[in-house]
Chains A and B, each alone.
Chain A
Amino acid sequence: MSRLITLAYRKLIDANSGRPWEKLVFADSYREFRMQAQLYNQQGQYRTFGELLHHVPGADKLHFLVGGSIGGYVQQLGGLVPDIVNNVGRYFLKFTRYQFELINSDLHDPSRHQVAINFYAEPLIWHDTIAPYLLVSEAAAPAEASGEVLTHLVQLQPYLTIHALRPAEAAS
């Protein structure tokens, strides 16, 4: 029985991330963290994001505030979730919604800066499961004249999850 699912991919970026896009997100989010964190650290007594969250009311806004520095890079992805490919090796997962997240950071040690971007994919119809693969199609795609539905095979993998599900009855 087919169901409507929303896949979510949590892309982690830290000092070990090596691709140019990741390095730009890493560097710009670290710079923005160092700037914005000063608002919550005016006496300079805290060093890590964890300390700020624990001790300073409102410091959880840093997720949102630092996220403002990387929106341009998310747009450069052209609406396709990075890293996740179908079984013929193509990027296929469309998204319009995302959320930036600070995981850890340290005002004096960039190697401890670690962030995530959560990508929420556009709804997919999950038709079947074949061996380790989900057989899915885009819920928003128009039907082909022949009545065929174009599909992708995709494997669930670490940091890729089914974020939301709607039974077929409710989806129709």
Chain B
Amino acid sequence: MERKHFLKSLLMGAASAPALLSACHKDDVSPTSSSGTGTTTTPTGGSSSTNCTVAPTETEGPFPTKVPSSYVRSDITDGRSGYKLTAKITITSSSASCAALAGALVDIWHCDAEGNYSEYGGSGMQSTNYTGVHFLRGRQTTDAAGLVTFTSIFPGWYSGRATHIHVHVYNASGTSLKVTQIAFPEGTGSAVATVNGYAKGLSGYTYNKSDNVFSDDSAGIEIATVTGSTTAGFVLTMNIAV
């Protein structure tokens, strides 16, 4: 190894570790070869070749298989409590006379009944036996009619914002087409009034006209249609042109 490459590998100790591991992975015959000590060793780690431990010597498998991102699901509830909400979002193409856009990826995310988003908590760790760490976040692909459907809960609210759902639309190859938010209708009989902010109530709530995202939407094109009740669940319908 040339000196400059060696120095570079020290600097990038992290990056070189797997390379060294794989370089030492020519062990097709080594478990049966006689090295004199009877022990198969392999250097592990970045810049040190003096640190040797026993290589894995187990039957291979189970073999890894490709799995979709954990966002890819229709039901994003993950055990969060709240009134059921079915969100039906139709994506259309503004450059094609608002024809349905099939095959688009649609991410949505919103806060829970208390107004909290899923994020790493205190320790920053997540547990393998609790998959709900990415709760209330999901991804679906639009069908031939441009439609995606999510099952979730009616969002709560937090200080400074009206009730909303975030939406990020990508084309099939993952290129961003639109980042937007869905607003909710307000007033007597509306779902926002009926849910009444869950346990928090609506004292101090920010309505759409005062919301820093929705206040300029005088035509109401960002406001979804929401029907239903707390017992039957709510259905949100929204068209988004990208």
Is B119's CB under 8 angstroms from A64's CB?
yes
A172 contacts which chain B residues (CB < 8 A)?
Answer: none
Question: Inside 8 A of B115's CB, which chain A residues have their CB?
Answer: none
Are B127 and A12 in contact, with the CB atoms below 8 A?
no
B interface residues, how many (CB within 8 angstroms): 52
A113 and B44 alpha carbons, distance in the complex (Å): 21
Q: Smallest Cβ distance from B45 to chain A, in angstroms?
A: 3
A18 touching B58 by the CB < 8 A rule? no
Which of chain A's residues has its CB closest to B20's CB?
A16
- Residue numbers in B under 8 Å from A76 (CB-CB): 62, 64-65, 67
Per the bound structure, the CA–CA distance linking A34 and B176 in Å amounts to 9
> Among A16, A67, A90, which residue has its beta carbon within 8 angstroms of that of B19?
A16
* Interface size of A as a range: 35 or more
Given A17-B18, A99-B125: A89 and B56 interface contact (C-beta under 8 Å): yes
- Chain A residue numbers with a CB within 8 Å of B170 are 35, 38
B45 touches A157 (CB 8 A): yes
Of B83-91, B129-137, B148-156, B182-190, the one touching chain A: B129-137
Encoded as 1 (CB less than 8 Å from any B CB) or 0, chain A from 12 to 53 comes to 111011111110100010011011001100100000000000
Whether A120 touches B125, Cβ cut-off 8 Å, given contacts A34-B174, A63-B120, is: yes
The reply to whether A159 and B17 form a contact with Cβ atoms under 8 Å apart is yes
Q: How far is the CA of A90 from the CA of B51 in the complex (A)?
A: 18
Among the interface residues B22, B69, B168, which one has the most CB atoms of the partner chain A within 10 A? B69
Assembly CA distance A13 to B17 (angstroms): 9
Do residues B57 and A72 form an inter-chain contact, with CB atoms below 8 A? no
Q: Closest A-chain residue to B18, C-beta based?
A: A17
Q: Mark A54-88, 1 if CB is under 8 A from B, else 0.
A: 00000001011001110111111011000101111
Chain A residues whose C-beta falls within 8 Å of the C-beta of B134 in the assembled complex = 64, 68, 71
B138–chain A nearest beta-carbon distance, Å:
10
- The reply to whether B67 and A73 contact each other, CB–CB distance below 8 Å, is yes
* CB <8 Å contact, B174 and A83: no
- Indicate if B54 sits at the interface (CB-CB under 8 A): yes
A97 on the interface (CB 8 Å rule)? yes
**Cβ-based interface call for B48 (8 A):** yes
Measured in the bound complex, the distance between the Cα atoms of B58 and A88 in whole Å is 10
Residue of B nearest to A14 (CB): B15
Q: Can you list 17 A-B pairs, Cβ within 8 angstroms, ordered by A? A: A18-B25, A20-B64, A31-B174, A34-B174, A35-B105, A35-B107, A35-B176, A39-B179, A68-B134, A69-B71, A71-B131, A74-B128, A76-B62, A89-B54, A96-B127, A97-B125, A99-B125
Residues of B within 8 A of A (CB): 13-19, 21-22, 25, 40, 44-46, 48, 51, 53-58, 62-71, 105, 107, 119-120, 123-129, 131, 134, 137, 168, 170, 174-176, 179
Instruction: Mark A residues whose CB is within 8 Å of B.
Output: 12-14, 16-22, 24, 28, 31-32, 34-35, 38-39, 42, 61, 63-64, 67-69, 71-76, 78-79, 83, 85-91, 95-100, 103, 114, 116, 118, 120, 155, 157-159
Given A12-B17, A97-B125, 12 extra CB contacts under 8 A: A12-B14, A18-B22, A20-B63, A35-B105, A35-B174, A68-B70, A71-B128, A76-B65, A85-B57, A91-B56, A103-B14, A155-B53
